[in-house]
Structure 1
Amino acid sequence: MSTVLIVGGDQIDGLKKIVSKYGHHDIEHWSGRKAGDHHKKIPQNTELVVLVTSWINHSFTYAIKRAASKRQLKIVYATNLTHAREHLMKQLGQDSAVLSGCRKTLQPFIVV
């Protein structure tokens, strides 16, 4: 099973709901503000990285971006959690192959 890695933010329940709606339930979250987060490696089975950039510093953003691009992972950038929800829904709606197990026809839903 592949993982979605969300980096940044504290209250990510809305993002988790969006990813779950597209059939993916293995979600890892790094707040990006703990000292140990800067030394973590992206899990091997990760398919998508969501970067909430307003919650993490520039050097950590760059490190995650570089590591993800080396592995040719899809990345969704957002400045805050509201934008992250919008960008994630747009990305998943446009590219149904982003996550394994996505349905070909996607039904609209509302995230509260």
Structure 2
Amino acid sequence: MSQILVIGGDRLGNIVNLLQDRGFREVHHVTGRKSSQTSVKIPAGTDLILVLTDFVNHNLAKTVKCQAKERELPILFCKRSCAAIEKVLVTPA
């Protein structure tokens, strides 16, 4: 995998390093915290979408979930921590 879209969280910090260590060359990030933000354009070539559930607008999460389903993209949901992200990346859906 080479591209991941992360939805949620103001800053990613060490999460970027974790994702790069797991093989993602490009990490795209949308904060998704504003209540007025209800849509996002999924970049072409995205291999996986990761939604940080504790730092995201619920309407945006729902919209992204529908877009991922339409494009048949895998989507993972977890809290904003390296341990939680590592767990969902390792655990099969």
Same-fold call, TM cutoff 0.5? yes
- TM-score band, normalised by the shorter chain? 0.7 to 0.9
Q: 1:71 to 1:56 in 2, by over 3 A?
A: same
Superposed CA RMSD in Å reads 2.3
Q: 1:17 to 1:86 in 2, by over 3 A?
A: same
Match of 1:90 in 2: 87
Q: Give TM-score, length-normalised by structure 1.
A: 0.68
> Which of structures 1 and 2 has the bigger CA Rg?
1
**Letter of the structure 1 residue corresponding to residue 32 of structure 2:** G
Whether the 8 Å contact between 1:31 and 1:37 is mirrored in structure 2 is no
Unpaired runs of 5+ residues, structure 2, are: none
Distance 1:3 1:38 in 2: 22
Identity %: 28
Distance 1:4 1:88 in 2: 13
Unpaired runs of 5+ residues, structure 1, are: 96-112
**Letter of the structure 2 residue corresponding to residue 74 of structure 1:** P
Q: Give TM-score, length-normalised by structure 2.
A: 0.80
Question: Is 1:58 equivalent to 2:58 in the alignment?
Answer: yes
